[in-house]
Amino acid sequence: MPYAEGRIIHDADSHLMETADCLDPYLEERLRARLHATPGYLRRKAQQEAAVEAAKANHADPEFRAAANENVMLRKNYDAHGAFIRDDRGEALDYMGFASQLVFTTFCLGNFELDQSGDMELCYAAARAHNRMMTDFCSVDRRLLPTAYIPLEEFERARACMAEAIELGAKGLMVPSKCPQNHSPSHVGLDPLWAMAQEAGLPVLFHVGGEQKLNPAYKENGLPPVKDFHGGDDNFTSVSYMPIPEAVMQTGATLIFDGVFDRFPALKWGAIELGANWVPGWMRAMDSAAHAFIRNEERLQKLSAKPSEIVRRQFRAAPYPHEDVSWIIANAGEEVTMFSSDFPHIEGGRNPLKRFGDSLADTPARAVERFYCDNFIDLMGRGLAEDLRRPAQISAA
């Protein structure tokens, strides 16, 4: 019996739990040592080495593997079925019962901080290796929808990276919410990227890991260090959680005000694992800004609609399971939110369906259906094949 049954549910956020050598087969040999020596790579590798070795032993144990179905949402990170063994992932999705899963990296989130470096050759080489790795891993099952990463630092390299990602079969195109070093994300030099994505019918996605991080000075409070819920200091605490959506709010507003959403009206944008409590206030703040400055700014006069209406038309977000989804829907509109599990990350919890279901208890049925299914279909466009959108075997369950 799958974890989810009785309705069609698409999962807007799931992950691989890669090993440190995951990019080696996909990266030019001359660049491997250079990547392995970068501080961002070394930090990621040190965080996961012990966990990987323990998990490999578990997955080789027949008794451990025999209990995979009943523990599909209970085992987390490297212990989860299908977390890093490619041939297990389709079976894990069967156990979960979701109609499809958008799949993101874990090890490569943030592109090892190379976007902010001076080494653009390695920045784009690492991103391209990631894209080959992701599409290869997900090729075992059409329901697994691989995401590619496109650094926005250099116009021509970004264009070539996106073109290759689309050719490889990526179904979602992830970009950082953090502003590039030398130009706005709304720069017209990036328009060829948005045109490619729109023509391919694929969404552009923001994901946690590409945001502006907390200023570390906030942690220097004269008190003992606060551990994150993994027991370390690399993941989020209550304070470092707060700025997570800041960059995507600024970047999204800039893209809307500068007319990018209007220049590409069929292009959909998604905010994944960035929460959604901020969306209603962001929409109202943009409407307020547009109202305040419209007399002086020709760009605002040219907008096709109020910013909040543009958001409902083209922007989708995946709330965290601890957020009040009914409140978000009531204040942002039923077009915006989507279900996500964050599988196999522990942050997603062991029973996201219950947590979301409790929040949606008094929400109209049509809005609930949009949350679990329709808004994801709308976001994904041609990235989600027609026969995967409303599978008959799940509809009849």
Question: pTM of the full predicted structure?
Answer: 0.95
Cis peptide before 344 (omega within 30 of 0): yes
- Is 3 a member of any domain? no
DSSP 301-364: HT-SS-HHHHHHHHEEE---TTS-HHHHHHHH-TTSB-----BT-GGG-S-HHHHHHHHTTTS-
CB contact set of 299 (below 8 Å; sequence gap of 6+):
257, 258, 259
pLDDT tens, residue order, the chain (397 aa): 899 999 999 999 999 999 999 999 999 999 999 999 999 999 999 988 888 988 999 999 999 999 999 999 999 999 999 999 999 999 999 999 999 999 999 999 999 999 999 999 999 999 999 999 999 999 999 999 999 999 999 999 999 999 999 999 999 999 999 999 999 999 999 999 999 999 999 999 999 998 888 888 888 889 888 876 655 555 678 888 888 999 999 999 999 999 999 999 999 999 999 999 999 999 999 999 999 999 999 999 999 999 999 999 999 999 999 999 999 999 999 999 999 999 999 999 999 999 999 999 999 999 999 999 999 999 999 999 999 999 987 754 4
What is the domain-level CATH number for residue 260?
A: 3.20.20.140
Alpha-carbon distances, residue 45 vs 108, 330, 345, 369 (angstroms): 10, 43, 17, 40
Q: Which domain covers residue 343, as residue numbers?
A: 10-395
Contact 129/121 with Cβ under 8 angstroms?
no
Q: Give pLDDT, residue 376.
A: 98
- Is 4 a member of any domain? no
Q: Give pLDDT, residue 69.
A: 97
- Is 2 a member of any domain? no
- Is 194 a member of any domain? yes
Q: Give pLDDT, residue 230.
A: 56
For the chain, give percent helix, strand, coil, nearest 5. 50, 10, 40
Provide the phi-psi class of 248: left if phi over 0, else alpha when psi is between -120 and 50, else beta: alpha
- Is 62 a member of any domain? yes
- Is 92 a member of any domain? yes
Count structural domains, the chain: 1
Strand pairing category for 144-149 and 172-174: parallel
- Is 1 a member of any domain? no
CA distance 101 to 267: 20
- Is 211 a member of any domain? yes
